[in-house]
Amino acid sequence: MTLVDRHLEFVHALREAGLPVSLAEGLDAVRAIETLGLADRETVRAGYAATVVKREVHRPAFDKIFDLFFPALVGVSGIVHDETVGSEAGLRPFRRGLSELTDLGDGPQDLADFREQLADALALGDQEMLAALAREGVSRFGRIQGRGPGEQRWSSYNVGNRVSPETLVEQILNGLLGETDRDPAEEREVRRAIQRQVDSFNRLVESDVSRRAAEVRGPEYVARHTVRPSIDQLDFTAARKADLAEMRRAIHPLARKLATRMAKQQRARGRGRLDFRKTVRASMQTGGVPVVTHHLPKRPARTDLVVLCDVSGSVANFANFTLMLVFALREQFDRVRAFTFVDEIHEVTDQFRVGADPAETLAELAASAKYASLWGRTSYGRAFTRFHDQFPDALTPRTNLLILGDARSNYTDLALPVFKQMEYEARNVWWLNPEHRRHWGTGDSAAHEYGEIAPMVECRNLTQLTDFVGDLA
Amino acid sequence: MWFESPDAAASRLAEAGYLADQATATSAYLAGALEKPVLVEGPAGVGKTELAKAIARSTEAELVRLQCYEGLDEARALYEWDYRKQLLYIQAREQTPEWDEGIFGEQFLLTRPLLTAIRREQPTVLLIDEIDKTDVEVEGLLLEVLSDFQVSIPELGTITATRRPLVVLTSNAARELSEAVRRRCLYLHIDYPDAEREKQIVLGQVEGIEDTLAGEIVDTVHRIRSLELKKQPSIAESIDWARTLVALQIGTLDPAVVDSTLGVVLKHVSDQDKAVRELGLRKK
């Protein structure tokens, strides 16, 4: 494969992963690589990154694909080491010749040795050594017996399972701090530092596994199957724990961006009456002729917002994020009230304090979910009825009502008349559904029934959520 | 020629007092070699604007700065006709008929930063600061400048750069920039540096600071950054903190000192509470 082909395939894989790489940007990249040369891998990476990655959210996907197409090393056992790494610490395997590496043992003694080395590396936080150990770990413990003859496969799950670096944390803590009288603050700090190292080891193992897979099956194949969508495109319902933390961090900048946009639109929207003084003052520049008229800004008409959230297991994340975003933007609305429900209704407006910590607020919300649940099975009909009975004053002709949920009501009574009445009382009603449109109305989903009364909007990821909230205010 | 290679860029920026990592140095080099603008994004206070200044210092180029704000228009960014002068000229012309040239000549043109940068003959670094603060229309205005380094003035024709300036755009991401701008630029995301580099930056920026104190400050700031905060402390805040401690003549960072000077680093109550709790600063 020539270099040009590799470049083209690389750009193609980036596009498949959702990065908008234009033809011009591809050409820029080629020109950049031409002037930079291919001597240093990290320079090549920086060159590509500067020319084709134009958003920071795309960077993780880019790095992953770059590692697949421009691997740091090629080969199966692949422990190509310079002598400086681990030469002092008595790390035997690094200094073995390549011939020996082909028959790396994976017996219990090897495992114990390996874990000991890994513990040292984690305690020291030595990135190079961790990378080397990750590669060795995959060679030794990550092998899946090939399906066909001569076919090798590796799995990060196997490595994690046998090496289980998480269990080393306690051991390292003992080694670093002694077994007794520790300072709890220090212990927490060290524990967090070690956990970070463990996470980075796991990442290294994962990337080595995909590098090997790329060699066997081709980088395009692996890129298509392992690169996750960027955080703003990721479905709420498919988010993992780490993704959720990242999304939580994204909420605040997002709200800030949205608030700027809304404030600008507010200002641009129509002009008020003539600002006489300003117009006259400006006319001085043109010899007393009022060429440009200036106007006072219009008084903004703000709306009340009432949010009803389904917080049952499957959609809780989505509801929480939307609530966080809405409350981060509360100055854009006149008044915001929020209610959560499973089969009982519970007001959570007070959980949102100005300037509170987002992580804490989310934890409090999760804790308060128990009040929203009586039997623990979602029932939209019951929740709407209870809402209508208990808070008859919540809906006014100025209120925008927002309902968050997947409309999966466990085949219970939908209380459509009550919902119709709510729709009648409020100024506008929207229903945000975190499920893909094609799943609406399947199984116990009453999306179509409710959707006939109030417009239902698909809202699966942060991008769609931002767009919606932006249009709302 | 701006820089000879990425390494040369790094070392010359370092001489100018800016410690660049590899991505930054490579982008600075590419900006010169490919003659393309660089769009720099990143959290507030990581040295985005400083990068442009450092490039200007290290290449002995003049820095032309366009500070963007809401409501910035053509007249402030590109050029403006000096109509007062034009008006006077028309009035004076009635008495002196030998003045017969039109009123759209060079002498009535007020050049604003973008046009100034393009018309300069000497090496120029054009810094377009906080481009996200402008309205979308200004972005359209910039496109011609960014891609072809030329400005069209209806009365005079198109003015093309005699010597292309090195353009640096910075953004705090208060607004999504359009694809058109992104496509024309190289992209650089500057993030918080690692502990070693940040320590070097603090040592370089703060006079009379002890090596150990700088190390302690940077360690603490990194610990604070690992918490989930509303506003993470930036490099600018580490430097402020270091200056504060030097001014207070405090030589070492113990929990009591951190607690009493935390306001320099963290500027939200909830962030401060969290840091105090997580770092175990106050003993009950």
Own/partner long-range contacts of A254-258 (Cβ < 8 Å, ≥24 apart): A254/A325, A254/A462, A254/A466, A255/A325, A255/A328, A255/A329, A256/B174, A257/A466, A257/B173, A257/B174, A257/B175, A257/B176, A258/A325, A258/A329, A258/A466, A258/A469, A258/A470
CA distance B152 to chain A (A): 24
Q: Which residues contact A182 (CB under 8 A, 6 or more apart)?
A: none
Residues of A in contact with B278 (CB under 8 A): 188
Residue A102 — very low, low, confident or very high, per pLDDT cuts 50/70/90? very low
Q: Are B230 and B268 in contact (CB under 8 A)?
A: yes
Residues of B in contact with A25 (CB under 8 A): 183
| pLDDT tens per residue, range A178-194 | 766 677 767 777 787 88
- The stretch A333-341 carries a mean pLDDT of 83
Q: What is d(CA A235, CA B143) in angstroms, rounded to the nearest whole number?
A: 35
Q: What is d(CA B239, CA B277) in angstroms, rounded to the nearest whole number?
A: 24
Q: Tell me what pLDDT residue A143 has.
A: 75
Q: Are A130 and A197 in contact (CB under 8 A)?
A: yes
Question: Does pLDDT of B80 surpass 80?
Answer: yes
Closest partner residue to B279 (CB to CB) among A42, A185, A249 is: A185
Cβ separation A50–B26 shorter than 8 A: yes
CA distance A147 to chain B (A): 42
| pLDDT tens per residue, range B139-189 | 888 888 888 888 888 888 888 988 899 999 999 877 778 888 888 899 999
**Residue of chain A minimizing CA distance to B171:** A55
- The stretch A13-28 carries a mean pLDDT of 88
Question: Does pLDDT of A75 surpass 70?
Answer: no
Own/partner long-range contacts of B172-176 (Cβ < 8 Å, ≥24 apart): B172/B41, B172/B43, B172/B44, B172/B130, B172/B132, B173/A253, B173/A257, B173/B41, B173/B132, B174/A256, B174/A257, B174/A260, B174/B132, B174/B133, B175/A257, B175/A260, B175/A261, B175/B132, B175/B133, B176/A257
Count the neighbouring beta carbons within 10 Å of the beta carbon of residue A396.
11
SS3 A396: coil
Count the neighbouring beta carbons within 10 Å of the beta carbon of residue A454.
19
Question: Does pLDDT of A97 surpass 60?
Answer: no
Does A359 lie at the interface with B, CB-CB under 8 angstroms?
A: yes
Q: What is d(CA A331, CA A347) in angstroms, rounded to the nearest whole number?
A: 20
Q: What is d(CA A443, CA A336) in angstroms, rounded to the nearest whole number?
A: 33
Give the start-end residues of each E strand in A163-313. 304-310
Size of interface A-B (CB pairs under 8 A): 97
| pLDDT tens per residue, range A158-170 | 787 788 888 888 7
Count the neighbouring beta carbons within 10 Å of the beta carbon of residue A39.
7
Question: Does pLDDT of A300 surpass 70?
Answer: no
CA distance A236 to chain B (A): 20
Q: Tell me what pLDDT residue B152 has.
A: 87
Q: What is d(CA A324, CA A328) in angstroms, rounded to the nearest whole number?
A: 6
| pLDDT tens per residue, range A224-240 | 777 767 777 778 777 77
Q: What is d(CA A132, CA A135) in angstroms, rounded to the nearest whole number?
A: 5
Q: Tell me what pLDDT residue A434 has.
A: 86
Does B48 lie at the interface with A, CB-CB under 8 angstroms?
A: no
Q: What is d(CA A96, CA A9) in angstroms, rounded to the nearest whole number?
A: 36
Cβ separation B36–A53 shorter than 8 A: no
Q: What is d(CA B201, CA B17) in angstroms, rounded to the nearest whole number?
A: 8
For the residues of A283-336, what is the DSSP string, one character each? HGGGTT---S--BPPPPP---EEEEEEE-SGGGHHHHHHHHHHHHHTGGGSSEE
Cβ separation A59–B189 shorter than 8 A: yes
Q: What is d(CA A25, CA A190) in angstroms, rounded to the nearest whole number?
A: 44
Residues of B in contact with A51 (CB under 8 A): 30, 186-187
CA distance A196 to chain B (A): 10
Average pLDDT of every residue of chain B: 87
Count the neighbouring beta carbons within 10 Å of the beta carbon of residue A260.
15
ipTM of predicted assembly, 2 dp: 0.85
**Residue of chain A minimizing CA distance to B21:** A46
Q: Please, which residues bridge with residue A115 across strands?
A: none
Q: Give me A73's structure tokens.
A: 């090393």
* Highest-scoring range by mean pLDDT, A69-83, A324-338, B56-70: B56-70
Q: What angle is formed at CA A422 by the lines to CA A416 and CA A424, rounded to 5 degrees?
A: 105
pTM over 0.90: no
Average pLDDT of every residue of chain A: 78
Cβ separation A264–B135 shorter than 8 A: yes
Q: Which of residues 5-24 of B touch A (CB under 8 A)?
A: 6, 22-23
Q: What is d(CA A1, CA A3) in angstroms, rounded to the nearest whole number?
A: 7
Say which range, B110-114, B158-162, B229-233, has the weakest mean pLDDT. B229-233
